Structure 1
Amino acid sequence: MRVFVIVGAAATIVVAALGGCASAGHPSSGASSPAFQGPVPSFTGPWASEFEQAYRSTNSDAVHEILAKGSITDRDYAEVSAEYERCMANKGFPTRVTGPGGEAEIDGGEDSLKADEACNGDFAIIASLRGSILRNPQNLDENEIVVACLVANGVVPQSYTAKEYESNLESQTFPFSIDDAEFTRCARDPLGLSGD
C-alpha cells in the first residue's frame, strides 16, 4: 500500500476541503522539542513572520542554517528531502519526495505514519514554508486568492466572497462540489504559478 503525504499549510487547506482524499497534512513535528530560546535573525519580506515562527519552532541547527538566509533554495530543499527519505528507508519504509512543497509517496500504508512523524521534523518545517512561498510568493490573503480563482474559473458567482469561503471551510459545506476539478486546482494553485 502507498500513502501520499503532503506537508504544509496549503495542503491543510486542500485536505480540509477535500476530506476523503488520500492525502494527509503534516504540520511541522517540532511539537516534541521545546521552542528555541536563543537569538533569532531579523527577517524581512512578505514571509518574515513565518520565517521567524519556523526558526523559533525548532532547535535543529540544520533548519536554523537554512532559515537564517531568509530564503529556501532548491539545494536546501533537496538536502532535507534526501535526509527525510534516508530516515524513512532506515525505518523500513521506502519514500520518495515527489513535489516541490512536501509531497511524498511512502511505501508501507498506515504503518508508516509513526515513522513519518519521527523523520519529518526538519523536512516538514522547510517543505511547509517553501511550499507556501512557491504557491503564494507575496503572502497574499489565502481566502481572497482562492476565491478570485474560483470566480475566474466559473466555480462560484462573482458575488461569492472570501468571508463566505472562510465560513464554508469551517463548516465543510460548500455551494459547489469539492470534487470539481477547478476547485481542486484553485485550492492547490490559486495564482496559477505551478504551470500545470
Structure 2
Amino acid sequence: MARAVPSRGRKALAVIAVVVLGGMLVACASGDPAPAAQVPDAEASPVSGYDGPVPEFSGPWADEFASSYRKSTSDFERAALEDGEISDAEYVELQERFRTCLAEGNIAFTEFNPDGSFQYQLLGGTSPDEGNEVVTACAVSSGQRTLGFLYVEAHRNPQKLVEAELIAACLVEQGAVEKGYTADDYMRGSFPFVDEEKGEELLDYCSADPLGLLGMKASDFAE
C-alpha cells in the first residue's frame, strides 16, 4: 500500500488545535474553568537570537548545536549547549521553566512525553489562539525551542543515522513488514504491512523510537 511518508511523533488525544514547535508535536485541550490570568504577549518574546561567538561543536549533531546556540535567547540555553551535550538535569530544568511560563499564561502542563511531544490544557476561558501564542512565547523564553527537540533527537538517534534506514529496519524487526523491506520502500510511501492494523501502530512506534532508546513501546501507539 502506498501513502504519504508519516511525520514523526506520538498521536495526540482530545486535540482542539495542534502546532509544531521545533519539530515537536504539541496538542492542546480545553479544560475546566479557572480564574483567568493575563496572557503573555508572544510578540514581546525575544526571537532575534544570539549574535556573539559560537563554540566549535563536534560530533554528529554539531550543526544542530551550533544552530540552536545562534537561536538562543538566554544564558541558560547557552550554558546547556556549550559542551555539546544537553544533560538530563538541564532537560529537567528546561521542563520546569516551560511549566512555570505556561502556568503564568493560564495553561496547565505536566511533562514532556518520551518522544518530546507534549499536551497542554487551556484554563479559565483561554482560547486556542491565545494558547498557541502563550506556548510559542514560552517555547522561546524557556529554551524549549532550542533545547527540547535537540535533547530528544540526540538521545533517539545518537549517531544521526539515516532516518529512512532506521525506520525500515525497525519495521522489519518488529514484524510489521516482510524481510527485504528497504529504506527506498519507506521513502516511496510503500507499506505492505503483514497486518494492517498492527502495522499502523508499529509504523508510529518505529517513527518515534526506531532504535528503542527512548524506552517507548509499540503498545503506546495502540488505538
Q: Given the two structures, how large is their TM-score scaled by the length of structure 1?
A: 0.77
| Alignment correspondent of 2:151 | 130
Distance 1:131 1:181 in 2: 21
* Match status 1:14 vs 2:8: yes
Compute the displacement of 1:14 (Å).
1.8
Q: Could you tell which deviates more after superposition, 77-86 or 36-45?
A: 36-45
1:43-122 equivalences in 2 (<5 Å) = 43-108=57-122, 110-111=128-129, 112-121=131-140, 122=143
Q: Could you tell which deviates more after superposition, 81-90 or 112-121?
A: 112-121
Q: Which amino acid aligns with 2:56?
A: S
Q: How many pairs align? A: 179
**1:80·1:123 contact (CA, 8 Å) conserved in 2?**
yes
**1:102·1:124 contact (CA, 8 Å) conserved in 2?**
no
Higher helix share: 1
| Alignment correspondent of 2:179 | 158
- Output the aligned Cα RMSD: 3.1
* Match status 1:189 vs 2:209: yes
| Alignment correspondent of 1:8 | none
Distance 2:165 2:176 in 1: 14
Compute the displacement of 1:148 (Å).
0.5
Distance 1:27 1:134 in 2: 16
Distance 2:114 2:179 in 1: 32
Distance 1:119 1:92 in 2: 12
Q: Given the two structures, how large is their TM-score scaled by the length of structure 2?
A: 0.68
Q: Which amino acid aligns with 1:49?
A: D
| Alignment correspondent of 2:160 | 139
Please list the CA deviations of residues 63-110 of structure 1 after superposition, one character each: whole Å capped at 9, or x if unmatched: 111100111111111111111111110011111114345333311173
SS in structure 1 at match of 2:188 = helix
SS in structure 1 at match of 2:107 = coil
Q: Which amino acid aligns with 1:114?
A: E
Structure 2 residue runs without a partner (length 5+): 1-5, 24-41, 218-223
1:27-46 equivalences in 2 (<5 Å) = 27=22, 33-46=47-60
Greater Cα radius of gyration, structure 1 or 2: 2
Please list the CA deviations of residues 143-178 of structure 1 after superposition, one character each: whole Å capped at 9, or x if unmatched: 11011001112222333321332232xxxx744458
User: How much identity, in percent, do the aligned residues show?
Assistant: 31
